[in-house]
Amino acid sequence: MALSINYQDSTYFLSGRLYTNQVFQIRAFFQSKATQEEQLSIDLGGLDDVDLSAALMFKQLRDEAIQENRQIKICAGSNEKILGPFRMLQDQYVLAA
């Protein structure tokens, strides 16, 4: 399934698959949104698959936001299918959401 992003109730919902070849575009998209909005909320619960480079990109986005005193909330919900790459990064901020 192709990647899609929907915006509803102040949250960006991703669905489909997110892989290395899309990371730069998705990163630029969310960096742009982060500068326009006080708080950015991203829900990854609808993704069917995500690779390590995508997980790393979300970690970097979050780390950059913290350095710039912005808030980015990244949530995987109960989607166990996509947590593997985040576990490899030992990134608890997505696991706990």
- Among the residues of the chain, which ranges form H helices? 23-36, 52-67, 83-88, 92-95
Q: What is the pLDDT of residue 35?
A: 86
Nearest of 56, 39, 45 to residue 82 by alpha carbon? 45
How confident is the model over 19-65, as pLDDT tens digits?
999 999 999 999 999 888 888 999 999 999 998 899 899 989 988 88
CATH 3.30.43.10 for domain 4-95: no
pTM over 0.85: yes
Single-letter code of the amino acid located at 91:
D
